[in-house]
Amino acid sequence: MRQSRTTGRGHAADACDGRRQPDSLTLKTSTLNFEAKEYTQKNFNANQFHVILRRMPEPSDAATASAEPSLEEQIAAYQREFQDLDPQVEQVVSALQRLNRRMNVAYGRQTATLGLSNAEWEVLKALVVSGAPYQMGPGELAKRLGLTPAAMTHRIDRMASEGLVTRERDETNRVRVIVELTHEGREKWLEAMRMASVFEEDLLQDLSDDERHLLGQVLSRLLRRVEETQPDAGGRLSDLD
């Protein structure tokens, strides 16, 4: 699973696991509005998000999903109450939010078929990204994933009991603990990646290569803007757990 290929993976269901929930990730910041407005003025086609959204699964609560207004209805309602609203900016931002939510649902369903929670997926991903020998300290993992030390310890305990990681004392520094990805953990990650690749190719099939390239550039630039202006937000467009 790609780290956002737009937004990354995971969802907010694991908030009780200790993840910090920064308000800035609602994408309603003035800095993001500035960037989104800049792109719409350059004829960036926000309908690209609509094309992708149409291929996304509905949120798990079908009643809530069916009652959700369309983007157009939502923007019209906002404009009635807030006359200074820029509808082009709101279209981009709201589409991003909906896309993020639906992608979280889709990825959560996929990892669940492998017996993985989104919380566990996040740890596997961090260890793989760290490179061979796929080792990190608990403190480093907690910082990477935006967790409290206690929440990270709980997560590692659970994953160690499932054989996805090991936790050993560093032979050169007995005070330091090392968390290492196991063969089984890496195989789980690979299987999740295979499933995600099929899903993601299907998701983007209606976009041309040029549109995919443009969309990737736009999202990367928005992400950099958040990282620069909201560094305490975890440097991501969405909360992955």
- In the chain, pLDDT over 70 holds for what percent of residues? 69
- pLDDT at position 231 is 78
Contact between residue 148 and residue 155 where contact means Cβ atoms under 8 Å apart: no
Can you tell me the distance from the alpha carbon of 39 to that of 51, in angstroms, rounded to the nearest whole number?
18
- pLDDT at position 85 is 84
Return the beta strands (E) in the chain as ranges. 135-136, 165-170, 173-181
**21-233 CATH, one of 3.40.50.300, 2.30.110.10, 3.20.10.10, 1.10.10.10:** 1.10.10.10
- Token pair belonging to 13: 């269901």
Contact between residue 65 and residue 117 where contact means Cβ atoms under 8 Å apart: no
DSSP type of residue 58: P
- pLDDT at position 113 is 92
Per-residue pLDDT of the chain (241 residues; tens, 9 = 90+): 544 444 444 443 444 444 444 443 344 444 444 444 444 444 455 555 555 555 555 555 544 455 778 888 888 888 888 888 888 888 888 888 888 888 888 888 999 999 998 889 999 999 999 999 999 999 999 998 888 999 999 999 999 999 999 999 877 777 788 999 999 999 999 999 999 999 899 989 999 999 999 999 999 998 899 888 887 765 333 343 3
Nearest alpha carbon to residue 104 among 52, 50, 59: 59
107 three-state secondary structure = helix
- pLDDT at position 83 is 83
pTM above 0.85, yes or no: no
Nearest alpha carbon to residue 123 among 189, 221, 197: 189
- pLDDT at position 56 is 55
Return the beta strands (E) in 96-212 as ranges. 135-136, 165-170, 173-181
Number of Cβ atoms within 10 Å of the Cβ of 230: 18
- Token pair belonging to 92: 């981009």
Can you tell me the distance from the alpha carbon of 206 to that of 44, in angstroms, rounded to the nearest whole number?
17
Residues linked to residue 179 through DSSP beta bridges, in sequence order: 136, 167
- pLDDT at position 138 is 92
Can you tell me the distance from the alpha carbon of 171 to that of 107, in angstroms, rounded to the nearest whole number?
37
Can you tell me the distance from the alpha carbon of 17 to that of 6, in angstroms, rounded to the nearest whole number?
24
Can you tell me the distance from the alpha carbon of 235 to that of 222, in angstroms, rounded to the nearest whole number?
11
